Chain A
Amino acid sequence: MAKYQAKREIKIPAIKDGTVIDHIPSRITFKIMRLIDPQEYNHTINLALNLNSKKMGKKGIIKLSSRKLTQDEVNKISILAPNATVSIIRDYAVKKKIEVKIPRLIEKIVRCSNPNCITNAEDVRTRFSLVSKEPFSIRCNYCERAMSRDDIKLN
């Protein structure tokens, strides 16, 4: 175990201050990276995927130096990766774990996959209601179309 941990440290260096998003399904790690919008970000980002995980088989991890996530960003993560963990790091230690929880009402952050939905025709703030967590399903409050995680496009 210790040997494995040591290897992992080499792959993904620890950060002094910032945020770690762990337990991301490997295939959506880049999606999570995109929604964090690294273009506006000048500090170090460590990203790895297909890491071995006891819980998940394979997982992704993102470490953001000197960066806090907004609640909006955590909400977005919760929709794409409900089992991810978000930790605030201070001086190389976990200071706080933020609970990633899918909101019952998802406002603004998801775009409706129905091309004939009014939200894609007029300037409307999108709203979706959570139908079920497993299998994941949300319903557009306007056109009532149900969407699975695979259908989701973020605003």
Chain B
Amino acid sequence: MGGKFKGRDIISIRDLSKADLLAILDAAKKLDQKPKRDLMVSKVLATLFFEPSTRTRLSFMSAMERMGGKVLGFENTEVTSVKKGETLWDTIKMVAQYADVIVQRHPTEGAARLAAEASSVPVINAGDGANQHPTQTLLDLYTIRKEKAKLDNLNIAFVGDLKYGRTVHSLCIALSHFRTKLYFIAPEALQMPKSYLGDLDNKKIPYIVEQDLMKVAPDLDVIYMTRIQKERFPDPVEYNKLKGVYRIDKSLLGHTKKDVRIMHPLPRVDEINTDLDDFPQAAYFRQAGNGIPVRQAVIALVSGMM
């Protein structure tokens, strides 16, 4: 398994074939079921966070440390040579001398690809602007498979901000490898970009574009909620018009299949009422937890330890 991934960068979900996706999910399942506390004892992970993202950073750190590895890095460029004007290229060249794997978060799109070109050790993209966050997609996929015991023949709805939602775009690309039916539930102004729908057309993946969640709720196996992201809106008036358009609570469960699963990349604001949290259908906290075995698998695979 490792031979295929050893030395490989994980930059974009587009780079991963169906076989790659399944291999990573299988590796994550192994680590989930039988944790390996000393798998990475001799290895160092560098976490380079050029912008803050506490959740993702802690998740990568936890993943590495639970395998016995060491972590170094920064979470703020104020204390680095970036502040002195060092280029990303040079920063990566330097850090590649100190670590076996680099995890990078950067506000600029395409920064992960550039880092991978500069680096002599594998680079894992932990988010580059509005572009890619492949380990988030992998943990989403892992969660769907774990909760539903399959990835084919599922009806999966994306709800909320589908226009700017990076997680939605990437998961949509990943799911297009499987026989799923996708539902895009959003106000017209926040609907899925046409280019993604075109990709689905090319791959003959059936989908439905809808505004009313309740219309399709009985058909769904998975509901992937997203936050309407204030920071993405150029116009606050537009944001205020759309922010509360989808709010779900436990009453939703009266309209869905019993075993529906509700997911969310988190953080949530008010789109999922806390009264849903204790129901088995609420998978979002389990989803966040799945980030550990998935990130462990990715780190172990690219460093050739698995």
Contact = CB atoms under 8 A, between A and B. Distances in A.
A118 B111 contact: yes
A144 B169 CA distance: 12
9 contacts: A114-B109, A116-B130, A117-B108, A118-B113, A141-B113, A143-B128, A144-B14, A144-B109, A144-B110
Contacts of A121: 108
Contact residue range for chain A?
10 to 19
B195 A140 contact: no
A143 B107 CA distance: 11
B117 to A, nearest CB: 9
Given A142-B114, A144-B109, A118 B12 contact: no
B139 to A, nearest CB: 20
A146 to B, nearest CB: 5
A116 B89 contact: no
A117 B106 CA distance: 11
Contacts of A144: 12, 14, 109-110, 131-132
The DSSP consensus for interface residues of chain A is loop
A122 B89 contact: yes
Given A117-B110, A122-B114, A143-B129, 12 more contacts: A114-B109, A116-B108, A118-B108, A118-B111, A121-B108, A123-B87, A141-B110, A142-B110, A144-B14, A144-B132, A145-B109, A146-B195
Contacts of B114: 118, 122, 124, 142
Q: Bin the interface of chain B by size.
A: 10 to 19
B15 to A, nearest CB: 10
Interface string A103-124: 0000000001010111101111
Contacts of B14: 144
B88 A122 contact: yes
Contacts of B110: 112, 117-119, 140-144
A143 B195 contact: no
A143 to B, nearest CB: 4
A118 B109 contact: yes
Nearest to A146: B195
Contacts of B113: 118, 141-142
Contacts of B128: 118, 143
B87 A143 contact: no
Interface string B69-109: 00000000000000000011100000000000000001111
B94 to A, nearest CB: 15
A113 to B, nearest CB: 12
Nearest to A142: B110
Contacts of B108: 116-118, 121
